[in-house]
């Protein structure tokens, strides 16, 4: 498996994780004010998931243009 193929597989997994985190954040917002104390935790998880996904996409873009 090439580096690009491995990175694409990782991006697919990260994308699924980011979408799950997004839905967790959405669900939390719908339930407010219940569980309001978890806002920062859920938001951080979502932020981190999308940040990692974006970084890997940039890495793939760089790899493919090299």
CB 11 within 8 A of CB 55: no
Predicted pLDDT at 66:
81
Query: Which position has the token pair 């090439």?
Result: 2
Confidence of residue 2 (pLDDT cuts 50, 70, 90): confident
> Taking CA 46 as the corner, what is the angle to CA 44 and CA 52, rounded to the nearest 5 degrees?
100
Please, what are the domains in the chain? 3-65 (1.10.287.660)
Q: What is the tens place of the pLDDT at every residue in 15-62?
A: 999 999 999 999 999 999 999 999 999 999 999 999 999 999 999 999
Angle between helices 3-31 and 39-65 (to 10 degrees): 160
The CA-atom distances, in angstroms, between 21 and each of 1, 2, 31, 36, 49 are: 29, 29, 15, 16, 7
């Amino acid at each position: 498996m090439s580096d690009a193929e491995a990175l694409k597989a990782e991006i697919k997994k990260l994308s699924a994780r980011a979408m799950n985190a997004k839905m967790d954040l959405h669900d939390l917002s719908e339930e407010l004010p219940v569980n309001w104390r978890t806002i920062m935790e859920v938001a951080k998880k979502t932020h981190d998931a999308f940040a990692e996904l974006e970084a890997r996409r940039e890495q793939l873009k760089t790899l493919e243009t090299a």
